[in-house]
Amino acid sequence: MKSGRRPLVVGNWKMHGSRAENARLVEEMIGQYPPAPAALCVVCPPLVYLQDVARLLRGSAILLGAQTVCADAQGAFTGEVSAAMLKDVGCSYVIVGHSERRLLYRESDQAVARKFVAAQSKGLVPILCVGEQLAEREAERTFEVVARQLEAVLKLASMESLASAVLAYEPVWAIGTGRHASPEQAQDVHAFIRAQLAARDAKIAPLTRILYGGSVKAVNAAELFAMPDIDGGLIGGASLKADEFIAILSAARAH
Ligand code: PGA
């Protein structure tokens, strides 16, 4: 195991599925679940199916997460769902700051930071996504962008809170494109993120899980997960096929 960090594989179903399709997917996943995987496994269905999927997962080792959360605790926020509500229906994880939320729904670094804090305050593990767009990579601004996104969270949250949180490096140009970062490209950014954490607290930095996301498939998972600072994956498209997702889960080894 990498410095005691048990790998984690998270399926982000995005806006896919139906009650019937989810039931089939979960049944297949449970049927193929390896006896003692090295990695923890989480699935994040659309909000409206959380309770249903929680019931389907009961008795299995697969944990439940949500794809987003409201930064506020309760009140007049039409359409929003709070961290306490997610906890109430059985979630233990929540993705915050996914690039689709940042870009399509204009979530700012500050809004993402508030969501991170709201999630942790109710006992959810936030999975904080960071990552650069293609133009930013081409302009060699990857580290600057990732540092800015991380910094916004560290302004509101303590370094201690990072020990139990999860980070996910997701280069936007690799999401849903079939073009994943090379293991070396990903490792460079993961090592940068860990160094940013270590500069603040050298004891906490080795504890934080940093996942890679962006076109992870069964064929490329093992080489990505073998890198020293990659502690598992955030999986989109490939999490919708049970055999593919379970193969990715099995590729995560305790190093
Ligand atoms: P992808 O999505 O695996 O389909 O590239 C990853 C994500 O958006 O989390």
- Domain parsing of the chain, residue ranges: 8-253
Out of 136, 170, 190, 244, the active site residue is 170
**What is the pTM (predicted TM-score) of this model?**
0.97
**CA distances (Å), origin 133, targets 130, 146, 187:** 10, 10, 17
CB 204 within 8 A of CB 158: no
Q: How many angstroms separate the alpha carbon of residue 14 from the centre of ligand 1?
A: 9
The mean pLDDT value for 175-182 works out to 91
Q: Which residues contact 25 (CB under 8 A, 6 or more apart)?
A: 17, 240, 242
Measured over the CA atoms of residue 240, residue 244, residue 247 and residue 252, the dihedral's sign is negative
**pLDDT tens-digit readout, 152-168:** 999 999 999 999 999 99
pLDDT of residue 1: 53
CB 173 within 8 A of CB 133: yes
Q: Which residues contact 78 (CB under 8 A, 6 or more apart)?
A: none
Q: How many angstroms separate the alpha carbon of residue 235 from the centre of ligand 1?
A: 5
Q: Residues lining ligand 1, CB < 6 A?
A: 12, 170, 175-176, 213-216, 234-238
**pLDDT tens-digit readout, 89-120:** 999 999 999 999 999 999 999 999 999 999 99
Answer yes or no: 138 catalytic. Answer: no
pLDDT of residue 255: 59
The mean pLDDT value for 159-186 works out to 94
Q: Quick one: CATH architecture of 8-253? A: Alpha-Beta Barrel (3.20)
